[in-house]
Amino acid sequence: MKTILIIVPNGGMLFEAAGIADILMRANLHLPVGVDQQRYRVSLATTQSHQVIHGQSGLNLLADFKLAELDPRAAWDTIMITGRGDSVEEGNMVIDFIKLAAPQARRVVSVCGAAMLLAEAGLLDGRRATTHWRLLENLQSSYPRIRVEGGPLYIQDGEIWTSGGVSSGFDLTLALVEEDFGFSVARDIAQDMVMYLRRPGGQMQFSRFQLQAASDAGPIAELQCWIREHLADDLAVEKLADRVAMSPRNFTRVFTRETGVPPARYVAEARLAAARERLEQSHDTLERIAQVTGFGSSINLRRSFERQLHLTPGEYRQRFHCKKLA
């Protein structure tokens, strides 16, 4: 029997835990004859002092266990954590548990922001990992020993698995099933549940870079607004530095300090964000979009999209175009 413990912190999206449990239970129905002893047995644990897990939707789940009452040294096959929780105390409870439980478990898995708890527990040091795209920079800056990757929906590094935001936990769970029972079982589950076994687009999170405003009102904040309104201009660092009457070296230092990113990256991300928005909300040709967003040509636009999103602009438009414009 493969025992799966899903730790569900309070206040999250309950469909993460419920969906993962459904996939694992569906796997039991597809197991070939003779492997019944390897079936999954799934248990939910809550970080609360009661067994009711409150979701942000207002719905509730009834947990099998209270985490505080479980022996962390019990031999679980796989331990999965589906979020960070509502409080520091709640997170610390999970961290303390997982530090003791991880050595006995065959696999430890995080979904969405739970990667922050694995990081704090030291389980991700020296490993590749991912999390929800909104938390990627926080994860990397807070835990520099982790090799954070922002693209994949999930990453396996040895016995530790991490996944991106929310539904990417389902992709990861199918991968766990495939590792345990092979391609055919995972494929059958995906077909039964009308899911992708392998999502198109390189299994990427379609993250949006946070174009963070400067920390203080002033020349840099004004320059950011100007950049977004003049994406087709020459936005080389030297040109931008001249605009705020600074040397290129000092400008780069000040801009990075106030916005958190170097100016060249800010420009690149601002152009990509603008191109994505036009693909989503207009019928403009690719050549026109490339011109007004500073890529210069549809070839450059395509190269950027394939490098950053693993999709062509046309494929991106097909997937995310606003239906009201159709």
Share above pLDDT 70 across residues of the chain, in percent, rounded to a whole number: 92
Taking a C-beta distance cutoff of 8 angstroms, is the pair 265, 276 a contact?
A: no
What is the domain-level CATH number for residue 114? 3.40.50.880
Report, as an integer, the average pLDDT of 181-187: 90
Q: Which of 173, 192, 211 is the C-terminal boundary of a domain?
A: 192
User: pLDDT value at position 282?
Assistant: 92
pLDDT in tens, 193-238: 988 776 654 445 555 555 666 666 789 999 999 999 999 999 999 9
> Are 188 and 230 within one domain?
no
Secondary structure of the chain in the HEC alphabet?
CEEEEEEECCCCCHHHHHHHHHHHHHHHHHCCCCCHHHCEEEEEEECCCCCEEECCCCCEEECCEEHHHCCCCCCCCEEEECCCCCCHHHHHHHHHHHHHHHHHCCEEEECHHHHHHHHHCCCCCCCEECCCHHHHHHHHHHCCCCEECCCECEEEECCEEEECCCCHHHHHHHHHHHHHHCHHHHHHHHHHCCCCCCCCCCCECCCCCCCCCCCCCCHHHHHHHHHHHCCCCCCCHHHHHHHCCCCHHHHHHHHHHHHCCCHHHHHHHHHHHHHHHHHHHCCCCHHHHHHHCCCCCHHHHHHHHHHHHCCCHHHHHHHHCCHHHC
235 and 305 fall within a common domain: yes
What pLDDT, on a 0 to 100 scale, did the predictor assign at position 52?
A: 93
Mean pLDDT rounded to a whole number for the chain: 90
Most trustworthy range by pLDDT among 7-21, 101-115, 142-156: 101-115
Top-confidence residue, 88 or 195: 88
- Say if residues 80 and 42 touch (Cβ distance below 8 Å): no
pLDDT 10s digits, 299-323: 999 999 988 887 899 988 887 787 6
Domain coverage including residue 63: 2-192
pLDDT, position 319: 77
pTM for the model stands at 0.71
pLDDT score recorded for residue 32: 76
Amino acid 202: pLDDT: 44
On whether the CB atoms of residues 268 and 305 are closer than 8 A, the answer is no
pLDDT at residue 14 is higher than 80: yes
* Residue 211 in domain: no
Q: CB within 8 A of 121, min separation 6: which ones?
A: 95, 98, 99, 102
Residue 201: predicted pLDDT: 44
Question: Domain boundary at 151, 176, 192, which?
Answer: 192
Per-residue pLDDT for 81 more than 60?
yes
Q: Tell me whether residue 201 is in a domain.
A: no
Residue owning tokens 């392998």 = 198
Q: What are phi and psi of 304, to 5 degrees?
A: -65, -45
Q: What is the pLDDT of residue 309?
A: 80
Q: Residue 200 domain-assigned?
A: no
pLDDT of residue 211: 65
Is 150 in the same domain as 238? Answer: no
In a domain, 280, yes or no: yes
From 192, 227, 244, give the residue that closes a domain: 192
* Mean pLDDT for the stretch of residues 238-263: 93
Confidence of residue 268 (pLDDT cuts 50, 70, 90): very high
- The number of domains in the chain is 2
